[in-house]
Amino acid sequence: MELVADAGLTPADPRLQRALRIISDSAVDLERVGTDLLDLERAAVGRLQVAPRPLDLTELAREAVAVTLGSARSASVPDGPVVARVDPTLTPRILESLLENADRHTPPACEIGVDVAVDGARVRLTVWDRGPGGARLGQG
């Protein structure tokens, strides 16, 4: 707070509010990265605990789109329930990470979507976008 006072900012100053939002968002991002790194290490040594249970993947996809993209972007999620046994903590984190990546690399006017497809005894979640695509590795 001493720095705030030295800069002549008040709690109502929009510059301070913006700076505090950036700091808060960065702290959340840093915590997520730390958790992801710990999970990767646990997975590498066979100690990642997964607790699958039946969940509606279309509802999970809708929630992930709402959390990640909000109303700022057009997004598509299919209708109807598709229930599968998945981890209720890890699956949303993975889906949100894929949506964040699509949002980061897709122009704002391009749609992003999630498909939930049943293939026999398996269910496939796919994050897609209508962006121009990236250059293929090894092609110049």
Indicate which CATH number applies to the domain containing 78: 3.30.565.10
Please tell me whether residues 86 and 117 are part of one structural domain: yes
Please tell me whether residues 72 and 112 are part of one structural domain: yes
CA distance 22 to 19: 5
Q: What are the residues facing 115 on neighbouring strands?
A: 126
Half-sphere exposure of 3 (CA within 13 A, CB side): 3
Please tell me whether residues 62 and 111 are part of one structural domain: yes
Q: How many CB atoms lie within 10 A of CB 91?
A: 19
Please tell me whether residues 123 and 95 are part of one structural domain: yes
Distances (CA, A) of 50 to 41, 42, 45, 99, 138: 14, 11, 14, 22, 36
Please tell me whether residues 37 and 104 are part of one structural domain: no
Helix (H/G/I), strand (E/B), else coil: 58: helix
CA distance 52 to 64: 18
Confidence of residue 139 (pLDDT cuts 50, 70, 90): very low
Compute the average pLDDT of residues 82-97.
92
Q: Which long-range contacts (CB under 8 A, 24 or more apart) does 118-127 make?
A: 118/82, 123/57, 123/82, 123/84, 125/57, 125/61, 125/95, 127/95, 127/98, 127/99, 127/101, 127/102
More confident residue, 120 or 7: 120
Range of the domain at 19: 2-44
Q: Is the pLDDT of residue 140 over 60?
A: no
Q: How many domains does the chain have?
A: 2
Compute the average pLDDT of residues 28-49.
80
pTM for the model stands at 0.70
Q: DSSP letter for 136, please.
A: P
Q: Is the pLDDT of residue 57 over 90?
A: yes
Please tell me whether residues 66 and 124 are part of one structural domain: yes
Please tell me whether residues 35 and 17 are part of one structural domain: yes
Average pLDDT score over the chain:
84
